[in-house]
């Protein structure tokens, strides 16, 4: 159904005309009648756990982690760890300063060559070092 949801005001919620052929000739143009919620927008470096359900029109921010079996019914902030039904923020992955630096730097836009050089920093547990290097690179 993409960015839409099912019709709720009819005896059946099924969009019969999507089956084509004779079915589409005897039904109303369901797609134009669906309540459109907008596109699903997944940020960069998002991790969706197994069997997540993400409703139409949701925006999941860069670096967000969504736990397995979560049902996402509202937008999720960048670099947050979320889970549950309905999905809720459990905690932020990093402090506000590091989140802001990562969002400003946008490492996912690096060229493949530059990314190869940057990967060791992305995998470093020393977040103070990561912050300092991001600040240095952003000043260039």
Q: Quick one: 82 and 105 in the same domain?
A: no
Which 3 state secondary structure label does DSSP give 14? Answer: coil
Nearest to 65 by CA among 50, 83, 51, 38: 83
> pLDDT at residue 65 above 90?
yes
Nearest to 92 by CA among 137, 102, 39: 102
Q: Quick one: 58 and 28 in the same domain?
A: no
Q: Quick one: 131 and 101 in the same domain?
A: yes
Q: Quick one: 88 and 100 in the same domain?
A: no
Which percentage of the chain shows pLDDT scores above 70? 89
Tell me the average pLDDT across 91-95. Answer: 98
Active site residues: 6
Domain of 123, in residue numbers: 96-139
Mean pLDDT across the chain, nearest whole number? Answer: 90
Surface-to-core class of residue 20, CB atoms within 10 Å of its CB (0-12 exposed, 13-18 middle, 19+ buried): exposed
pTM, 2 dp: 0.80
* DSSP code per residue over 21-46: HHHHHSS--HHHHS-B----EE-TT-
* Cα 103 from chain centroid (whole Å): 15
Give the tokens for residue 28.
Answer: 């109303």
> pLDDT at residue 113 above 90?
yes
In which band, very low, low, confident or very high, does the pLDDT at 35 lie, cut at 50, 70 and 90? low
> pLDDT at residue 72 above 70?
yes
pLDDT at 2: 55
pLDDT at 3: 55
> pLDDT at residue 62 above 60?
yes
In which band, very low, low, confident or very high, does the pLDDT at 47 lie, cut at 50, 70 and 90? very high
Q: Quick one: 60 and 82 in the same domain?
A: yes
Q: How many folded domains does the chain comprise?
A: 3
Q: Quick one: 56 and 78 in the same domain?
A: yes
In which band, very low, low, confident or very high, does the pLDDT at 1 lie, cut at 50, 70 and 90? very low
* CATH number, domain with residue 81: 2.160.10.10
Q: Quick one: 56 and 82 in the same domain?
A: yes
Q: Quick one: 23 and 52 in the same domain?
A: no
The dihedrals phi and psi of 120, each to the nearest 5 degrees, come to -55, -35
pLDDT at 25: 80
> pLDDT at residue 61 above 60?
yes
Give the tokens for residue 69.
Answer: 């079996």
Strands 80-84 and 87-92: antiparallel
Q: Quick one: 47 and 85 in the same domain?
A: yes
């Amino acid at each position: 159904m993409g960015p839409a949801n099912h019709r709720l005001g009819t005896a059946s919620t099924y969009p019969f005309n999507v089956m084509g052929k004779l079915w589409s000739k005897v039904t109303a143009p369901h797609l134009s009648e669906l309540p459109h919620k907008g596109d699903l927008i997944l940020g960069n470096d998002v991790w969706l756990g197994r069997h997540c359900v993400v409703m139409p029109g949701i925006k999941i921010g860069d670096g967000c982690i969504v736990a397995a079996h979560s049902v996402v019914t509202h937008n999720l902030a960048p670099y947050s760890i979320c889970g549950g039904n309905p999905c809720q923020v459990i905690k932020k992955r990093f402090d506000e300063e590091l989140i802001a630096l990562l969002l400003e730097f946008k490492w996912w836009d690096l060229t493949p060559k530059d990314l190869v050089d940057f990967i060791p920093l992305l995998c470093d547990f020393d977040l103070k070092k990561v912050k300092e290097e991001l600040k240095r690179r952003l000043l260039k």
